[in-house]
Amino acid sequence: MEHQSRYLDPHTLAAIGSLELRARLIVEGVMVGRHRSPFRGYSTEFAEHRQYSPGDDLRHLDWKVFARTDKLHLKQYQKETNLRLIILVDASGSMGFGSDIVPGWRKFDLAATLASALAYLSLKNQDRVRLAVFASELMSETGLSNAHDHWRSIVSALESVREFPEPAMTMDAPRRTDLARLFDQVTARLTHRSLVVLISDLFDETDALERGLARMVHRRHDLIVFQTLDHAELTFPYRSPAAFLGCENEGQLNLDPMALRRVYLDLIGAHVKQVEQITRRFHYDYLRLDSSRPLGAALSQFLARRAAVIGKRG
């Protein structure tokens, strides 16, 4: 089991004013004991098939081709190339929420720290990185680059997010994020298979997520979904009657939390479970992040598992 003491707790991260410093400290914890980027080896790309010859590595047999033709063929790959990493960060109204469980630590702070750390890890490996910030529409975007000063451009873009827009109203309902359109926008200029990272609370309807993931499969990109949630959203610790204000244009409701708690926990639990199930059904990686838990520990364990799976694929 990994030694947990090297990971900064959320209270400490929240007290660090600099996003750049927070991200560097996360990366230091993740990379302890590792001598290479956890993303290394990702972007070996399929090139063509060739007929099997005795002595060939059986790990590269294409069993789907065998099932169709009754002949053994190997997958041949292009040599390993540098990764193209596209990081999508949600800055919609709900991402501006942060409970007093960790004062000064909003969901967007967690998302921005994660995005900055992932960008830093990739750029150290000379991988090309692009950041896109979105709400109901694409808000801002950096270029795709591995230049030495690109990381500071990414950090600056995240630090410039000061407001979390509520979705525009269309007829009687707020306009939600069209993930399929968003994925198309940020991947349209990519000519090679890339890794897309989505960081969001994913409070939209799950059919929007499903359409978006279907687009990613169609474009043959890989995807990691990080669902960022405040601990209060997962546990609903409220006890006294209070006014609850919606983060995304829902208005204010006066509620008795004790009467609502069981129903709410059932609903949020079902929603989170459905998000994970949809993501995994498309064979993409998923990690739920709780704002009250150490980000470094969760990220390190996730990347280690992902690297092990990629290693087994050969």
pLDDT at residue 275 is higher than 50:
yes
Which pair of tokens denotes residue 65?
Answer: 């081709």
| pTM score, whole prediction | 0.83
Query: 20 and 52: one domain?
Result: no
* 3-class DSSP state of 136: coil
pLDDT for res 55: 67
Residue 46's pLDDT band, with cuts at 50, 70 and 90, is low
With 0-12 / 13-18 / 19 or more C-beta atoms within 10 angstroms meaning exposed / middle / buried, residue 193 is middle
Are 194 and 183 part of one and the same domain? Answer: yes
**Is it the case that residue 173 has pLDDT exceeding 50?**
no
CA distances from 296 to 86, 114, 171, 263, 291 (A): 20, 9, 43, 32, 12
Share of the chain above pLDDT 70, in %: 81
- Asked if residue 17 and residue 73 are part of one domain, the reply reads no
Same domain, 114 and 15: yes
Q: Residues 95, 236: one domain?
A: yes
Query: Could you tell me if 57 and 162 lie in one domain?
Result: no
Strand partners, 129: 85, 145
How many domains in the chain? Answer: 2
> Measured between alpha carbons, how far is 59 from 102 in angstroms, rounded to an integer?
47
Residues 210 and 109 in one domain: yes
What CATH number should be reported for the domain holding residue 128?
A: 3.40.50.410
- Using only C-alpha atoms, what is the Rg of the chain? 21
| 203 shares its domain with 66 | no
Task: Annotate 10-31 with b (16+ C-beta within 10 A) or e (fewer).
Answer: beebbeeeebbebbebbbebbb
Same-domain status, 69 and 199? no
Across the range 65-73, mean pLDDT stands at: 81
Running DSSP on this structure, what letter comes out for residue 125? T
Question: What average pLDDT is seen over the chain?
Answer: 85
Give yes or no: residues 61 and 165 share one domain: no
Output the CA torsion 28→31→33→38 (10° steps). 180
Residues with Cβ within 8 Å of 185's Cβ and at least 6 positions away in sequence, in order, are: 132, 138
Residue 11 has pLDDT above 70, yes or no: yes
CA distance 76 to 78: 7
Segment 133-150 mean pLDDT: 94
Amino acid letter, 1: M
At 313 the three-state DSSP class reads: coil
In sequence order, what E strands does the chain have?
A: 46-51, 73-77, 84-90, 128-134, 138-141, 169-170, 173-174, 195-200, 222-229, 242-245, 252-255, 285-290
User: Can you read off the two tokens belonging to residue 89?
Assistant: 């960060």
Q: Which residues pair with 169 in a beta bridge?
A: 174
The answer to whether residues 295 and 26 touch, using CB atoms and an 8 Å cutoff, is yes
Domain that holds residue 66: 46-77
- Point out the least confidently predicted range of 91-105, 112-126, 131-145, 174-188: 174-188
pLDDT tens digit sequence for 201-224: 999 889 999 999 999 999 999 999
